[in-house]
Amino acid sequence: MMYWVVLVADIAGAAIHSRTMGRSLELAGSFFTVFLALGLYYALRPVQAGLARMALAMRLLEAAFGVLSILVGFAGISARLGSTGLGGGLIRLAEWADATNFSALAFTIGSTIFFSLFVKSGYIPRVLAWWGLLASVAAMGACLTHLAHPAFAAMTIYPWIPALVAETSTGLWLLVKSVKVGSARVAIERT
């Protein structure tokens, strides 16, 4: 369900014209990402614990940069942060992350790892798992291209449509069917 909660919060936050309300919804989306990442981690940890931890770390990094970026966007918070050395550093870090789309890159790395674990686990249909893996790699390619060539607009909608379809369909599948970790663990050990 957290796939859908994060998606709705992020889209609604971007669509609402009120800066305070929009940023508040985007902030909620970043916080909900933590719960999504933890759920994916605990479901996929039996498949390969080390990779699941790495994916969790990437998604938590994404959430942290998202929270920092959004908080800096609030004028009152930004003014208070700017008055201290550490706060000024956090503002510069948030500006760098926004300029480089670093949180999007962290998202795509985490998503790629999680979907590779879905491919291995058999928790979701193979077609859906492979679609998610390929869509995540395509979005990661867009982010990496943007880092190498900043004029490349990585955040245009086109590289993200397949990832959106993969994330929403996986979220719907997991919401309806759930994951039977014990039975999948036996299947993984046999391979």
Distance CA 110, CA 105 (A): 9
Give the 3-state secondary structure of residue 84: coil
Chain Cα centroid distance, residue 172: 17
Yes or no: say if 53 and 126 are a contact pair by the CB < 8 Å rule: no
C-alpha to C-alpha distance for 11 and 4, rounded to whole angstroms: 10
Residue ranges in 17-154 assigned as alpha helix (H) = 19-44, 49-73, 75-82, 85-100, 102-121, 126-148
pTM above 0.95, yes or no: no
Closest CA to 61 of 7, 2, 113: 113
pLDDT reported for residue 45: 95
Tell me the average confidence (pLDDT) per consecutive run of 10 residues in the chain, 191 residues long.
75 71 78 90 95 96 84 65 67 63 89 97 94 95 83 73 92 83 50 47
* Nearest CA-CA partner of 166 in 124, 141, 135: 135
- Give the residue from 63, 169, 181 showing the smallest Cα distance to 115: 169
